[in-house]
Amino acid sequence: MRILIVTAGSRGDVAPFTGLGQRLQQAGHQVALAAHGRFADLVREGGLEYRALPGDPVELVRARTAAPSPEAARSVFAAFLDELGEGVLAAAAAGTDILLTAHGPAPLGRLVAEGFGIPSVGVYLAPGVPTREFPPPGWPAGQLPPADNIAAGRDLLARTDSLYADVLRRLRARLDLPAATAQAPDDWPICHGFSPTVVPRPADWPATVRVTGYWWPVRPPGWQPPDLLVDFLGAGPPPVFVGFGSMTPSHERLQAVVEVAVKRAGVRAVVQSGWARLEPEGDDILRVGDLPHDWLFPRTAAVVHHAGAGTTGAGLRAGVPAVPVPVLVDQPFWADRLHRLGVAPHPLPLHELTADTLTAALRSCLDRSTYHERATELARRIRSDDGPAVVLSLITQLEDGR
């Protein structure tokens, strides 16, 4: 069966699907992964066919940030969605029997699959279905009582519908399909790629919505750690990791915060440059580029990160405490989850981050043994999951039912 996985966004929105795709391929399927051009090598290194999607997420973030008004920002995003819709259509037309779509492009993926008369499945990295049990990711934590969580989730879905309305209308005309809502039907299958240990499956989700366990990124074949990194790790106690992934905050302020906090906390640090282009300096700081988290994180004492879904999962898998510094979208949800799981102090939203607060959080994270003990326990449970097996089983059912 020819399987197409469609995703859009940052590296963290792409990397987990290399692991899922490789596992599906090992089961005998032909797997292609459609993503933005800057991730073509990441996809191919995972042994998967790459299909191009237009647009650059870095430029999108910068353009939306620089837009002079909310209306202008919305216009920038609408143009991005138009291009993305055409890209999803072209990727599916290259040969597809079943389409798996990440949360971001899900309205486009479902519609294109409908137009081609093939089944589709949601493959989400964060909770994407309203529930009474917690507010939807992207909604301020603690702002609503539990009885209103469903309403909040539906409100976010309605906002998404409005963003996609124009591009979906044009795509429906292209595919000669009748008008319909952008929201997924209740019986549409969705697999969530995180561990039930981290987010137990809500009891009020439809039966077709699953929590599978994580889908871990593929480590590039033949990858070896840089000698400079190996030497740094061996020259002293385990360092802390500091990285903010695809976030693009003011790097001058953030660099100063990191430099001072590392010195005051008395720790060594491996700092990932990321899209923020962090370049802090110090005798106990080593700057690095993109590195496999599954190799690096187990060699650290703690991880300071933006609480993206993938980085959060990698830290939990490694069994190390965290200092979450959320910025936007689902990151506050994961940051709050880390704290509730007992592996992190209170989250430090980026706009509140100072050298003093980061220093205090680092010392708390490292000095309280309960954080490490809890992280070790959770890692053992998370590693026992087999997330791709659940997706593979669903695909087999869909294949048998065709």
DSSP annotation string for 164-215: HHHHHHHHHHHHT-----SSPPTT--EEE-S-TTTSPPPTTS-TTEEE----
Please list, in sequence order, all residues whose beta carbon lies within 8 angstroms of the beta carbon of residue 107, skipping any fewer than 6 positions away.
160, 161, 164, 168, 182
Q: Which residue has the tokens 């989250």?
A: 347
- The CA-to-CA distance between both ends of the chain, in Å, stands at 11
Provide the number of structural domains found in the chain: 2
> Are residues 92 and 153 both part of a single domain?
yes
State the Cα–Cα distance between residues 296 and 34, nearest whole angstrom.
27
Of 65, 33, 30, the C-alpha closest to 46 is 33
Secondary structure (3-state) at 243: strand
Same domain for 113 and 26: yes
Q: Is 348 contained in some domain?
A: yes
Tell me how far apart the alpha carbons of residues 341 and 335 are, in angstroms, rounded to a whole number: 10
Query: What 8-state DSSP symbol labels residue 11?
Result: G
Cβ atoms within 10 A of the Cβ of 212, count? 24
Query: Do 296 and 195 reside in the same domain of the chain?
Result: no
Does one domain contain both 237 and 343? yes
Q: Is residue 221 part of a domain?
A: no
Identify the residue whose tokens are 């991880």.
303
220 part of a folded domain: no
Same domain, 351 and 396: no
CA 146 to the chain's CA centroid: 25
In which region does residue 8 sit, left (phi positive, over 0), alpha (psi from -120 to 50) or beta (all else)?
beta
**Would you say residue 236 lies in a domain?**
yes
**Residue 16: inside a domain, yes or no?**
yes
Considering the domain architecture, whether residues 114 and 11 belong to the same structural domain is answered as: yes
Residues in the chain: 402
pLDDT for 257 equals: 87
Q: Are residues 14 and 157 in the same domain?
A: yes
Q: Does 222 reside within a domain?
A: no
- Give the per-residue pLDDT at 149: 79
**Torsion of the alpha carbons at 197, 198, 203 and 207, rounded to the nearest 10:** -80
Does 233 lie in the same domain as 298?
Answer: yes
Residues 52 and 194 in one domain: yes
3-state secondary structure 49-71: EEEEECCCHHHHHHHHHHCCCHH
Counting DSSP H helices and E strands in the chain, the numbers are: 14, 12
- The answer to whether residues 291 and 272 touch, using CB atoms and an 8 Å cutoff, is yes
Q: What's the pLDDT score for residue 181? A: 61
* Residues 377 and 396 both lie in one domain: no
Check residue 14 and give its pLDDT: 93
Do 193 and 278 lie in one domain? The reply is no
Q: How far apart are CA 230 and CA 396, in angstroms?
A: 43
Same structural domain, 320 and 174 = no
Q: Encoding tokens for residue 20?
A: 């899922």
Which range marks the domain in which residue 58 is found?
Answer: 2-214+385-401
What letter represents residue 340's amino acid?
A: R
pLDDT at 145: 54
Q: What is the pLDDT along the chain (402 residues), one digit of tens a residue?
A: 899 999 998 888 999 999 999 999 999 999 999 999 999 999 999 999 999 999 887 777 666 555 566 676 677 777 888 889 999 999 999 999 999 999 989 999 999 999 999 999 999 999 999 898 888 887 765 555 556 777 777 877 777 778 888 889 999 998 988 877 656 677 899 999 999 999 999 999 999 999 999 999 998 888 899 999 999 999 999 999 998 876 655 566 788 888 889 899 999 999 988 766 777 777 888 888 888 999 999 999 999 998 989 899 999 999 999 999 988 778 899 999 999 999 999 998 888 889 999 999 999 999 999 999 999 999 999 999 999 999 999 999 888 765
Beta-carbon contacts of 30 under 8 Å, excluding residues fewer than 6 positions away, are 1, 2, 3, 49
Tokens 């102090």 identify what position? 345
CATH number at residue 295: 3.40.50.2000
Strands (E), 222-277: 240-243, 269-272
Q: Which helix (H) or strand (E) holds 288?
A: strand 285-288
Contacts of 302 by beta carbon, 8 Å cutoff, 6+ apart: 240, 241, 320, 321, 322, 323, 362, 365, 366
Name the pTM for this structure. Answer: 0.90
